[in-house]
Amino acid sequence: MAFGERLTEATRKVGTPLCVGIDPRWESLPLEIRKNKGGATPDSLQAVADAYEEFSLSVLDLVHGFTGVIKPQMAFFEAAGPPGLAALGRVMARARERGYFTILDGKRGDIASTAEAYAQAGLGGALHAGLNFPVWLSDSLTVNPYLGADAVEPFIHEARKVDGGLFILVRTSNPGSGLFQSLECQGETLWQRVARQVGAWGQVDASGLADVGAVVGATQPAELAWMRQNLPAVPLLVPGYGAQGGALEALKPAFGPKGAGAVVNSSRGVLFPFKPEASDWRDKIRQSAAKSACELAGVSGMGAP
């Protein structure tokens, strides 16, 4: 199945455009998990990585049925060093086994054969002597566009080999995202330029969606509306809902007919609705996932999950 169809199916089968971000943070983890791993304070990077893995695998179970899309944030696994990245590999494998559509959030970007190395590792497995060794095997990656077309194209090339796709940073959710992204550049803003290029890069499949999408923050409702109106085939990855302050109503313009065309990420809002000492953290995650799934089903027009 082509990328757009797979993304659409991943949201339709659970009836909500929710995407759950996997952002493990030591200080927010349940004490119960921290205690199992070398005491409440970790004694090694391995202990941190083990706790991240245990928590992330639990989340994949707890949110099942409430989301079809999972977005692991590479930075937190990288901060736990090589053991953390080994843990990420196991989290990605479990996500595939459980049937999630995956967005590996690394915001990578480099040139030529270097971009190819990131893309192969992220999507299809790296090639060494013509042999393909899978690394992360994600369905899609986030990519930074600043380096230009010859930096993004190796990612597109690798993605198409595996019916995968990309989400290019267009207008990010952080308060200072406008510093460069909102500059007026030859008649339009930089982010609009980038967005049009994203539109030109993508190939649209039977779902009506392209295989090159855009990251546009929930904190930017006017930008979401512009995207949907001008580039209806570009799938949107919308971070910043919930903890980052994006309001539910502001998300409305992101969606096409029947809630298609956008996934809305929540990381902290779903993952950490409890105090570390709480023993009912599993229930809290289930409840927060169900609530986010339901709210987003409503605002997207996709119907109740």
Instruction: Scan residues 230-249 and list those touching a second copy (CB under 8 A).
Output: none
> CB under 8 A: which stretch of 2-10, 144-152, 252-260, 282-290 binds a second copy?
144-152
For residues 34 and 247, give the distance between their C-alpha atoms in angstroms, rounded to a whole number: 33
Closer CB to a second copy, residue 9 or residue 110?
A: 110
Which residue among 20, 70, 80, 95 contacts a second copy (CB under 8 A)? 80
Which residue among 89, 232, 256, 301 contacts a second copy (CB under 8 A)? 89
DSSP assignment of 41-85: S-SSHHHHHHHHHHHHHHHHHHTBTTBSEEEEBHHHHHTTHHHHH
Site string for a second copy, 95-124 (x = CB under 8 A): ------------xxxxxxxxx-xx-xx---
**CB distance 3 to 164 below 8 Å:** yes
b/e per residue, 176-212, with b = 16+ CB within 10 A?
ebeeebeeeeeeebbbbbbbebbbebbebbebbbbbb
In the complex, least distance from residue 207 CB atom to a second copy, rounded to whole angstroms? 28
**Could you tell me how many residues of this chain bind a second copy (CB under 8 A)?**
70
| Residue 75 CB neighbour total at 10 angstroms | 12
Strand partners, 72: 22
b/e per residue, 142-171, with b = 16+ CB within 10 A?
bbbbeeeeebbebbbebbbeebbbbbbbbb
- Tell me the one-letter amino acid at 116: E
Closer CB to a second copy, residue 64 or residue 196?
A: 196
**Residue 300 CA: distances (Å) to CA of 11, 185, 222, 262, 295:** 11, 32, 16, 9, 9
Instruction: Rule CB under 8 A: say whether 282 interacts with a second copy.
Output: no
Q: Please tell me the number of Cα atoms within 13 Å of 202 on its side-chain side.
A: 29
Instruction: Scan residues 19-78 and list those touching a second copy (CB under 8 A).
Output: 23, 25-27, 34, 40-42, 44-45, 48, 73, 75-76, 78
Instruction: Rule CB under 8 A: say whether 200 interacts with a second copy.
Output: no
Which residue among 97, 129, 249, 304 contacts a second copy (CB under 8 A)? 129
In the complex, least distance from residue 271 CB atom to a second copy, rounded to whole angstroms? 13
25, with CB counted inside 10 A (0-12, 13-18, 19+), is middle
Active site residue 13: no
In the complex, least distance from residue 73 CB atom to a second copy, rounded to whole angstroms? 6
Closer CB to a second copy, residue 1 or residue 183?
A: 183
- Active-site residue, from 13, 35, 37, 107: 107
Nearest to 234 by CA among 216, 217, 219: 216
Instruction: Rule CB under 8 A: say whether 277 interacts with a second copy.
Output: no
Query: Which residue numbers are catalytic?
Result: 107
Q: Which residues bind a second copy (CB under 8 A)?
A: 23, 25-27, 34, 40-42, 44-45, 48, 73, 75-76, 78-82, 85-86, 88-89, 107-115, 117-118, 120-121, 126, 128-131, 133, 135, 144-151, 169, 172-181, 183-186, 190, 193-194, 197
